[in-house]
Chains A and B, each alone.
Chain A
């Protein structure tokens, strides 16, 4: 035997992928720094102050936050530039994502400050914007949860948009005639007919999910295609029925709206109270669902089996777990969640149905699911990010910054692209995601 010469171990400190990402991030920070310094801080001399209101007019318990826009933008710009430099030189290692979050936060803070100071109003309600963030995040979070439930068992659910839209339609069409304007029977601030409407929406979501399940599990049709086709179907069907029913019968399109409920004591906390604890059942429902589904997926027998089916269906099968039944069940539960989210658009918000009113929220929910790494809590966090993008574009519209409203409207969509492009690093989907399971 000729012993092979022992060579020293290769030492790889940073992998090529890491270096590449570091470079992207570093350049992003520098770019943001330039934007802040060049566009915002340029006018620093006479930029004046801006005010973020931390309380609503009705509960003046929290002080306002007033700062000098010039100073804030200057400081933020310098910090961002420094971050970019460090990122390019050596990266932040495990802290990369944290630093990214801080960087984006600082940038947005500076941007909002600048925009506020620029506008003739000079102040806006931070508490209002945060509350809007939560409200706007609800359908996205619920859509993402629907996606989590079904993709955890490896069925791609791209029909979320259709499920939301279907839920929205069914909710109002069922609830309107039942309540007929006013109904004295109030449960949690809303007529019983409203609850039946929500139930009907949940049922509609489950029905659509069942179709998805049958076609993709039993008939092994390509799951992405099934999802898109279901969405096309629901879009066509709701528009068709809206014209056929609602156009001439406005009384069918006047649903009850669930009112906000302030949780005693908690809703009195300054700032956080109104932001978190004064909402309608859809918001609280999404909080509860996130907690409940997390528990279900990661603590119970049922969840272990579901996740096994999503990761390695054959292994689950060899241990006597019924792969098909698990998939059906999870996809349909996801549909129920999405149907509930759909009802939010009508009964939780404006009370009436408009053609295609979900406007892509289901697809954004899908991105939120990916962003949230197929985890309910992550899905909610991602939903909040998108909700914030929504709320911010609304705020900027009010502040009249001169940025065309169409561009502000693009913010959530662009954010979605950045998210799926892996701005925040890649996560692994369930290993069997999208693959049909075929038994002999």
Chain B
């Protein structure tokens, strides 16, 4: 029986102590659940174990023999395999090419024996029940299948120790069940497994043992048989966590956003939003649930003027904005919290002041239209930083010096810090800490209570369920189901997310 052990692992990034003397142990035939909120240092720890980062202090032992990994190659050779949080698949390669990359079966002259490779891929996929077409191109297959490819990759290298970094984040509830089946199968086959998540339910359901990481340090363990979600939450965050968002019943008013028969194309000119219709009323939060890549991104971009509309109409506050520019949408009192804050929500090397006026810079009081008034921009920024609890040394520091949660608060402050009739927020709390999540949720509810209409798109089902007065489920570019908030279970929504309702 093989064991893998980490002792006193410490890793510092500039300004962050990502891992603080962490100990960890896992043996064959065991699933260790590693729990920790966003930014706790789970990925960093696993990257060290996998040879991607080198630890500043501490050691890795396999069967009590200290190891030194110069790179992932060494870790792989030692029997460690990792399924990364962000898949490590080459999108334009086939399944087989991805699986064999780095350990290719070759003939004379270094020519890849692709037939042999395919045969081996097929064999593994049959042995572990991981069905996939070896010739499919990665970018053409759904994430659930891509994950299978990742698992096959690891098994192809004969890994004994398997690391799964937040594998369930991209799956539907049903796919998660299926995935747990695979995990159990691997455990039966005698593999040692580290399963990383920040979801309490999952870790209790599948693990044999639980370890909790907080702010880089190991804060304790728990026995899945006896522990409760509340205990784990407390351990993970360091204080009791309110698991639900407190809010009154909504009192919907007039229709603010009306979408009818909307068709939107994606970057590859395929239909991404397929003729959908819905509305959002004043004083109401409408949540859009769905697995990533089912048209939510394109929907939001079309509503906010960032992407052209192929057919259908969009009206906001009675005004037709189907073909409006982002600026015109902004001027119709619409707040937009974009999906990827670093890609499009912020200019990372701009100061907080500059980011606070990023979309309002061109009008009073920030400018005369030609000349910027930096003094008034600065005082507005200072006011918003104060009001929205942005933790920063000042308004003149660059946005890239802030933590993810505070960056998100800058965006929320900018977008909510003026009178708005409609809020379109995409993944408003992705990848940020629990404190910031709670804060942003409160603000969203507050906007509703002040009479705004809100459309919240999130792949976190818990978030959608906690916030929404009404829930739309998107699948394959369509709204396949609609529920009243609070009157539906996760299982029902999960079925719809998987397309079962069509």
Which A residues fall within an 8 A CB radius of B? Answer: 1-10, 12, 15-18, 299-302, 304-305, 307-308, 311-312, 314-322, 431, 439-440
6 smallest A-B Cβ distances: which pairs? Answer: A320-B73, A319-B102, A15-B269, A315-B88, A10-B263, A300-B110
Interface centre among A316, A320, A439 (most CB of B within 10 A): A320
**Once bound together, how far apart are the Cα atoms of A6 and B482, in whole Å?**
12
Partner of B93, one of A10, A308, A317, A322: A308
CA distance A133 to B89 in the complex (A): 42
**Known A12-B271, A18-B269, A312-B90; contact A7-B104, beta-carbon cutoff 8 A:** no
Decide if B265 touches A12 in the complex (CB within 8 Å). Answer: yes
> 0/1 per residue, B271-298, Cβ < 8 Å to A?
1001111000000000000000000000
Chain B residues with Cβ below 8 Å from A3 are 481-482, 501
The answer for the CA separation of A80 and B111 in the assembled complex, in Å, is 46
Whether B480 is near chain A, meaning CB under 8 Å from some CB there, is yes
With a cutoff of 8 Å between Cβ atoms, the chain A residues found around residue B76 in the complex are 319-320
Which of A10, A18, A304, A318 is B310 in contact with, Cβ under 8 Å?
Answer: A10
State whether the Cβ of B318 lies closer than 8 Å to any Cβ in chain A.
Answer: no
Q: What residue in chain A is nearest B274 (Cβ atoms)?
A: A10
* Contact pattern, B 353-388, Cβ under 8 Å of A = 1, otherwise 0: 000000000000000000000000000000000000
Rounded to whole angstroms, the CA-CA distance of A182 and B106 in the bound complex is: 48
Q: How far is the CA of A317 from the CA of B69 in the complex (A)?
A: 13
The answer to whether A299 touches B111 (Cβ under 8 A) is yes
Contacting B482 at CB < 8 Å: which of A4, A10, A15, A314? A4
- Let me know if B112 and A317 touch, CB within 8 A: no
Q: Of B71, B89, B482, which contacts A320 at CB under 8 A?
A: B71
Tell me which of B91, B261, B271, B277 contacts A312 (CB under 8 A).
B91
Q: For B263, what are the chain A residues with a Cβ–Cβ distance below 8 Å?
A: 10, 12
B residues in contact with A1, CB < 8 Å: 481-483, 488, 492
Interface pair B269/A431, CB less than 8 Å apart? no
Check B89 against A304 for contact (C-beta < 8 Å). Answer: no
User: A314 vs B90: C-alpha distance in the bound complex, in angstroms?
Assistant: 10
Partner of B112, one of A4, A304, A311: A304
Q: Contacts A301-B104, A301-B112 given: A12-B276 contact, CB under 8 Å?
A: no
A16 CA to B308 CA, complexed, in Å: 10
Given A1-B483, A301-B106, A440-B53, check contact A322 B91 (CB 8 Å). no
**Shortest CB–CB separation between residue B111 and chain A, in angstroms?**
5
Q: Does the CB pair A312–B88 fall under 8 Å?
A: yes
Please tell me the number of chain B residues within 8 Å of chain A, measured between CB atoms. Answer: 55
Question: B110 contacts A9, CB within 8 Å?
Answer: no
Residues of A near B501 (CB, < 8 A) are 3
Chain B 40-66 near chain A by CB (<8 Å), digits 1 or 0: 000000010010111000000000000
The contact of A304 among B54, B104, B109, by CB within 8 Å, is B104
B189 close to A (CB within 8 Å): no
Interface centre among B101, B271, B472 (most CB of A within 10 A): B101
Q: Would you give the shortest CB distance from B162 to chain A, in whole angstroms?
A: 14
Is there contact, CB below 8 Å, between B478 and A7? yes
* B479 interface hit (Cβ, 8 Å): yes
Query: Roughly how many angstroms separate A311 CA and B308 CA in the complex, as a whole number?
Result: 28
- Provide the bound-state CA to CA distance between A316 and B109, in Å: 22
Q: Which of A2, A3, A4, A431 has the most CB of B within 10 A?
A: A4
By a CB distance below 8 angstroms, the chain A residues around B275 are 7-10
List the B side residues contacting A5 at CB < 8 Å: 277
Question: Looking at the complex, which one of A7, A12, A320 makes contact with B261 (CB distance below 8 Å)?
Answer: A7
B97 at the interface (CB under 8 A from A): yes
Q: How far is the CA of A1 from the CA of B493 in the complex (A)?
A: 10
| Bound-state Cα–Cα, A10 to B274, Å | 6
Q: Is B219 an interface residue (CB 8 A)?
A: no
CB distance from B95 to the nearest CB of A (A): 14
Q: Is there contact, CB below 8 Å, between B102 and A7?
A: no
A18–B268 alpha-carbon span in the complex (Å)? 11
Q: B480-492, CB under 8 A of A: which get 1 and which 0?
A: 1111000010001
Give B residues with C-beta under 8 Å from A.
13, 47, 50, 52-54, 71-74, 76, 82, 84, 88-93, 97-98, 100-104, 106, 109-112, 153, 261, 263, 265, 269, 271, 274-277, 308, 310-311, 472, 478-483, 488, 492, 501-502
Is the beta-carbon distance between B52 and A317 smaller than 8 angstroms? yes
CB pair A4 B488 closer than 8 Å: no
Contact check, A319 vs B271: say whether CB atoms are below 8 A apart: no
Neighbouring A residues of B82 by C-beta, 8 Å: 318
In whole angstroms, how far apart are the Cα atoms of A17 and B72 in the complex?
43
In this complex, what residue of A is CB-closest to B113?
Answer: A301
> Would you list 13 pairs from A and B whose C-beta atoms are within 8 A, ordered by A residue?
A1-B482, A3-B481, A8-B275, A10-B274, A12-B263, A299-B112, A301-B111, A304-B101, A307-B90, A311-B91, A319-B72, A319-B103, A322-B71
Given contacts A1-B488, A318-B52, A321-B102, contact A10 B311 (CB under 8 A): yes
A-chain residues with CB within 8 Å of residue B88 when the two chains form the complex: 312, 314-315, 318-319
Bound complex: CA A338 to CA B478 (Å): 52
| Residue pair A312, B52 in contact (C-beta under 8 Å) | no
Whether the Cβ atoms of B89 and A312 lie closer than 8 Å is yes
Checking B101, B308, B502 against A319 with a beta-carbon cut-off of 8 angstroms, the contacting residue is B101
Point out the residue from B84, B89, B480 that lies within 8 Å of A4, measured CB to CB: B480
CA distance A1 to B265 in the complex (A): 29
Chain B residues with Cβ below 8 Å from A302 are: 110
- Asked if A320 meets B102 with Cβ closer than 8 Å, knowing A4-B479, A16-B310, A299-B111, the reply is yes
Flag if A318 contacts B84 (CB, 8 Å). yes
With contacts A18-B269, A304-B112, A317-B52 known, is A4 near B481, CB below 8 A?
yes
Q: Add 17 more A-B contacts to A16-B308, A314-B88, A440-B53 (CB < 8 A).
A: A1-B492, A2-B483, A7-B261, A10-B275, A16-B310, A301-B110, A302-B110, A304-B104, A305-B101, A308-B101, A312-B91, A315-B90, A316-B102, A318-B50, A319-B153, A321-B101, A431-B92
Cα A317 to Cα B308 in complex, Å, equals 38
Q: What is the bound-complex CA distance between A321 and B73, given in angstroms?
A: 7
In the complex, the chain A residue whose C-beta lies closest to that of B89 is: A315
Chain A residues within an 8 Å CB radius of B271:
9-10, 12
Query: Which A residues lie within 8 Å of B488 (CB)?
Result: 1
Minimum C-beta distance from B252 to chain A (A): 15
CA distance A17 to B268 in the complex (A): 10
Contact assessment for A300 and B112 in the assembled complex, using a CB-CB cutoff below 8 Å: yes
Q: Give the docked Cα–Cα distance between A114 and B110 (Å).
A: 53
Known contacts A311-B92, A320-B73, A431-B91, A15 near B265 by CB under 8 Å:
yes
State A1–B263 Cα separation when bound (angstroms): 24
| CB closest residue in chain B, given A4 | B479
A300 CB contacts on chain B under 8 angstroms: 106, 109-112
Q: In the complex, which residues of chain B have a beta carbon less than 8 angstroms from the beta carbon of A319?
A: 72, 76, 88, 101-103, 153
The residue on A at minimum CB distance from B501 is A3
With a cutoff of 8 Å between Cβ atoms, the chain A residues found around residue B274 in the complex are 7, 9-10
Distance from A438 Cβ to chain B, minimum over Cβ atoms (Å)? 12
B139 CB to closest chain A CB, in angstroms? 10
Roughly how many angstroms separate A300 CA and B109 CA in the complex, as a whole number? 8
Taking a contact as CB atoms under 8 Å apart, the answer to whether B93 and A311 are in contact is: yes
Q: Which residues of A contact B109 (CB under 8 A)?
A: 300
A6 vs B91: C-alpha distance in the bound complex, in angstroms? 33
- Write out the residue numbers on chain B whose beta carbons fall within 8 Å of the beta carbon of A10: 263, 271, 274-275, 310-311
Q: Which residue of A lies closest to B73 (CB)?
A: A320
Residue of B nearest to A316 (CB): B101
Tell me which residues across on chain A come within 8 A of B112, comparing CB atoms: 299-301, 304
Q: Smallest distance from the beta carbon of B218 to chain A beta carbons, Å?
A: 21
Give Cα distance in the complex from A328 to B265, angstroms. 40
Say whether, besides A10-B311, A311-B92, A440-B52, A320 and B72 are in contact (CB < 8 Å).
yes
